[in-house]
């Protein structure tokens, strides 16, 4: 089945050409979209290619935040000095997506808009307090990433809306963040479970913390009730271990072709503990 293909060269051309239709899809790297079309899971009538719009491919320093264009690739994130310096957790997550070929074309916007609960950049973006900037036929809006995902393959984006960029907070001195992923093999592995932790220290205490988990629910989630129980505690190995246990107790993963529910829950325990320790070491200036 064919579709109308359009590759606007500028943002204004894109905005004037958007089709306000259910079966209009935006194309970034195509690593999810093309697979879905080939497998007959979707049948677009219009495909709008975002690849020619330069401003969507840029990473910009905006003081306390970094603005990441929607079509920035995983390889760009992995290599960007700005991301490595202020959001190493995101460089790490992007560096664990698929293979070099996938990372060279797959984009951060595609990763979140595909809304897979196993997406690797989502937990890192969530703990960096990501905000999604959206444009569309009816104007612009900013959506906190924690409110962006609905269920697999579904976001809060409406017909004719697309993501232009994602804002993340820089990790400051005295703060640390870590991404952990367990797949079934070392390379080209979709996450069985993944997790990210960001925390801020105040002396020996955890002053603030954000924890995000992937592949344990219908969408990537934050676990605020667990975060609240950890705030104010003096950090040590037993607190990291407690964080893992609390995270495990807070989720109800499913069994599917990649893993069992029990294994996923056990992995959450381990990787949250690891992420806590790595984030704390970073906050202390250990790495």
Ligand X SMILES: Cc1cc2nc3c(=O)[nH]c(=O)nc-3n(C[C@H](O)[C@H](O)[C@H](O)COP(=O)(O)OP(=O)(O)OC[C@H]3O[C@@H](n4cnc5c(N)ncnc54)[C@H](O)[C@@H]3O)c2cc1C
CA atoms within 13 A on the CB side of 8: 19
Give the residue among 154, 277, 278, 161 at the shortest CA–CA distance from 220.
154
In the complex with ligand X, the residue whose CB is nearer, 72 or 276, is 72
Beta-strand relationship, 221-222 and 205-214: antiparallel
| Largest distance between two CA atoms of the chain | 62
Binding to ligand X by residue 114, rule CB under 6 A?
Answer: yes
In the complex with ligand X, the residue whose CB is nearer, 161 or 227, is 161
Write phi, then psi, for 3 (nearest 5 degrees). Answer: -150, 160
Q: How far is the CB of 18 from ligand X (least distance, A)?
A: 11
Alpha carbon of 113 to those of 55, 159, 222, 234: distances in Å? 18, 13, 18, 38
In the complex with ligand X, the residue whose CB is nearer, 164 or 246, is 164
Write phi, then psi, for 65 (nearest 5 degrees). Answer: -120, 160
Binding to ligand X by residue 111, rule CB under 6 A?
Answer: yes
Of 10-18, 107-115, 135-143, 217-225: span binding ligand X (CB under 6 A): 107-115
State the residue number with the nearest CB to ligand X.
110
In the complex with ligand X, the residue whose CB is nearer, 163 or 209, is 163
- What is d(CA 16, CA 136) in angstroms, rounded to the nearest whole number? 10
Q: How far is the CB of 229 from ligand X (least distance, A)?
A: 29
DSSP of 187-250, one letter per residue?
SS--EEEEEEEEEEEETTEEEEEEEEEESSSSS-EE-HHHHHHHTTPBP-HHHHHHHHHHHHHH
Binding to ligand X by residue 120, rule CB under 6 A?
Answer: yes
Give the residue among 76, 77, 10, 75 at the shortest CA–CA distance from 48.
10
Binding to ligand X by residue 162, rule CB under 6 A?
Answer: yes
Binding to ligand X by residue 109, rule CB under 6 A?
Answer: yes
In the complex with ligand X, the residue whose CB is nearer, 3 or 174, is 3
Sheet holding 4-6, edge to edge: 4-6, 46-49, 24-27
Q: How far is the CB of 218 from ligand X (least distance, A)?
A: 16
Q: How far is the CB of 27 from ligand X (least distance, A)?
A: 5
In the complex with ligand X, the residue whose CB is nearer, 29 or 130, is 29
- What is d(CA 58, CA 76) in angstroms, rounded to the nearest whole number? 9
Q: How far is the CB of 162 from ligand X (least distance, A)?
A: 3
Binding to ligand X by residue 97, rule CB under 6 A?
Answer: yes
In the complex with ligand X, the residue whose CB is nearer, 25 or 280, is 25
Q: How many residues bind ligand X (CB under 6 A)?
A: 28
Given candidates 68, 70, 199, 239, which one binds ligand X under the rule CB under 6 A? Answer: 70
Question: Residues 281, 176: contact at Cβ < 8 Å?
Answer: yes
Binding to ligand X by residue 107, rule CB under 6 A?
Answer: yes
- What is d(CA 31, CA 284) in angstroms, rounded to the nearest whole number? 38
Given candidates 98, 133, 245, 274, which one binds ligand X under the rule CB under 6 A? Answer: 98
**Residues binding ligand X (CB under 6 A):** 25-33, 35, 50, 70, 97-98, 102, 106-107, 109-111, 113-114, 119-120, 162-163, 188, 190
């Amino acid at each position: 089945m064919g579709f109308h293909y359009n590759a606007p060269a500028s943002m204004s051309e894109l905005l004037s050409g958007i089709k306000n239709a259910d079966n209009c899809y935006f194309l970034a790297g195509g690593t999810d979209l093309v697979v879905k079309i080939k497998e007959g899971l979707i049948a677009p009538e219009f495909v709008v290619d975002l690849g020619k719009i330069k401003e969507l491919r840029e990473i910009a320093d905006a003081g306390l935040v970094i603005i990441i264009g929607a079509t920035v690739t995983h390889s760009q994130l992995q290599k960007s000095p700005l991301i490595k310096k202020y959001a190493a957790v995101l460089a790490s997550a992007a560096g664990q997506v698929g293979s070099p070929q996938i990372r060279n074309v797959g984009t951060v916007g595609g990763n979140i808009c595909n809304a897979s609960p196993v997406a690797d950049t989502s937990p890192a973006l969530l703990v960096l307090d990501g905000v999604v900037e959206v444009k569309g036929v009816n104007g612009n809006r900013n959506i906190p990433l924690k409110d962006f995902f609905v269920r697999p393959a579904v976001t809060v984006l409406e017909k004719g809306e697309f993501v232009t960029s994602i804002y993340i907070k820089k990790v400051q001195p005295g703060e640390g963040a870590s991404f952990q992923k367990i797949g079934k093999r070392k390379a080209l592995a979709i996450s069985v479970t993944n997790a990210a932790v960001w925390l801020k220290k105040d002396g020996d205490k955890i002053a603030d913390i954000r924890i995000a988990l992937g592949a344990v629910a219908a969408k990537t989630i934050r676990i605020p009730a667990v975060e609240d129980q950890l705030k104010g505690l003096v950090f040590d190995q037993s607190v990291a271990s407690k964080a893992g246990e609390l995270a495990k107790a807070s989720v109800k993963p499913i069994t599917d072709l990649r893993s069992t529910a029990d294994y996923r829950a056990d992995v959450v325990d381990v990787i949250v503990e690891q992420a806590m320790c790595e984030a704390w070491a970073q906050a202390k200036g250990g790495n």
